[in-house]
Structure 1
């Protein structure tokens, strides 16, 4: 008997700087209701889903920076989302900037949580691969200041037993790095969910612009296939505070095939019935790590043309 987890990828259109968290949450609740009407068990929202993506701007004032962060979850503004999830009996994934007080100091992370069908937080992940730069670049069309506003995540890549499967999380730029998938793949992950805010224009490397959507899908499809897992990638898309962001939210099978994809850059729900057992044949054959993976050789150092390659 297949284990079906029906998932809704809840893409959000742009959230402008003046839009309130309450307004964004109302939009998410509408998508959650659509997801429930379509039989979904889990709805997946984007990275930093509650506000415009503030790392695109240089901000000096500490209080203003902190205003984009959540110090508690649920917060007053997100409590209705948790309440509606509990009422509907549907799980959800939410990305948000987290303000934490740990090790005797204030810390900031780019965070995501997994919430089960009872409205209970069952997992938390903090983004590890932070893109961009920490310094001010006032001449840039826009900036990517994640290295200024966030610390590197310190929770690793756990996998949680929830909603009938083994689920994991990553955030945005993590999807470009094979280690993100492989650490969870080694734990037998069956579905990875992630949100992203990805501009169409790459100021440091504009020659990459034409390939933005291709690379977005490429890395998620490769990660899904090479680790025999479902991958659900969800965008905040469209023209947001002057920054045009890609959409392309999609649900990818363990075969590496895209089975559902958004066709707009607005609020849009994409649904797929995901058989969590679909990856088993790959886990037991091509990607049987115990049989075929050779980690003992990966630390070998090879000298080639004067370079040292580890």
Structure 2
């Protein structure tokens, strides 16, 4: 067995005026709890350091840039990396990235057990819109504040396994998991901030949102025979509710552990990376069973082209 004990570190709401230093203190407390649980890896949510600022319409570049990190580790986040190194614990951290040449991404990094960053991912599937939409119950302006990720879906061999990353809306797209699956991924780490209500479909409330969360994660895990660890920032943030439901799913698509609250909560499970082998060598043995000659449309077009009437 290749056991990796994972701590899914769900965060409760972060209000707009809450400083990063206070948020990091909360994260360090979860890391201390993870150490007591003998965790090897801790996974934090998407945009873990701030409120989900894309719900706010902003025009001033300086106002926008205050939500972004210009380096990682930053001054505010360095204690997380130092604590991770002290505990010998890997870490996934989601944040807003501002590059030296002024580009903006919704990003995550993976640090190994020494606290060294071994991988970076930038969110590919940006949801929402770019301009203020008066028809929406609330705004979702990721397309305004971020560029689509330019790093693809890489994986890293570290901490005794093969790890990949994605962020929030990426988890809904089967291509996300399959590209990593084709690299032999054994554990996918994903952080998310998901509103409890669809801004364009008010009837779709938290129960349906949680159902879709589980469905997406479980399908990705099963169809690629990989562990998936999905971690929320949850609760009522700036007056807007977000789902929790952080969960750890095994390579058979079964939920092994799930959050019970919408606050700061640690969900821990010992994951055997060798459990990925059976699916990868039987029903999802890609080398034997995939028929790429029939998949051309997947990369040749974006929108659908129905048959002619």
Q: TM-score, normalised by structure 1?
A: 0.95
Q: Identify the residue that residue 281 of structure 2 maps to in structure 1.
A: 284
Alignment pair present for 1:183 and 2:179? yes
Match of 1:273 among 270, 274, 285: 270
How do 1:31-180 and structure 2 match up within 5 A?
31-102=30-101, 106-138=102-134, 140-180=136-176
Query: d(CA) in 1 for partners of 2:152 and 2:208?
Result: 30
Instruction: Describe the superposition over 1:258-286 as per-residue Cα deviations: whole angstroms up to 9, x where unpaired.
Output: 00000000000000000001010100000
Query: d(CA) in 2 for partners of 1:47 and 1:139?
Result: 26
After TM superposition, give the deviation of residue 305 of structure 1 in Å.
Answer: 4.6
Structure 2 residue ranges without an equivalent (≥5): none
After TM superposition, give the deviation of residue 299 of structure 1 in Å.
Answer: 2.1
How do 1:206-217 and structure 2 match up within 5 A?
206-209=202-205, 210-217=207-214
Query: d(CA) in 2 for partners of 1:207 and 1:287?
Result: 36
Q: Larger deviation: 234-243 or 291-300?
A: 291-300
Query: d(CA) in 1 for partners of 2:305 and 2:247?
Result: 41
Q: Identify the residue that residue 245 of structure 1 maps to in structure 2.
A: 242
After TM superposition, give the deviation of residue 304 of structure 1 in Å.
Answer: 6.4
SS in 2 for 1:278: helix
- Using a 3 Å threshold, how does the CA distance of structure 1 residues 223 and 303 change in structure 2: closer, same or farther? closer
After TM superposition, give the deviation of residue 86 of structure 1 in Å.
Answer: 1.0
Query: d(CA) in 1 for partners of 2:134 and 2:17?
Result: 22
Q: Identify the residue that residue 254 of structure 2 maps to in structure 1.
A: 257
Q: TM-score, normalised by structure 2?
A: 0.95
SS in 2 for 1:14: coil
- Using a 3 Å threshold, how does the CA distance of structure 1 residues 19 and 303 change in structure 2: closer, same or farther? closer
Q: Identify the residue that residue 222 of structure 2 maps to in structure 1.
A: 225
RMSD (CA atoms): 1.5
Instruction: Describe the superposition over 1:44-99 as per-residue Cα deviations: whole angstroms up to 9, x where unpaired.
Output: 00000001010001011111100000010111100111111111111100000000
- Using a 3 Å threshold, how does the CA distance of structure 1 residues 306 and 71 change in structure 2: closer, same or farther? same
Q: Identify the residue that residue 189 of structure 2 maps to in structure 1.
A: 193
Query: d(CA) in 2 for partners of 1:304 and 1:139?
Result: 29
Query: d(CA) in 1 for partners of 2:124 and 2:306?
Result: 31
Query: d(CA) in 2 for partners of 1:67 and 1:98?
Result: 11
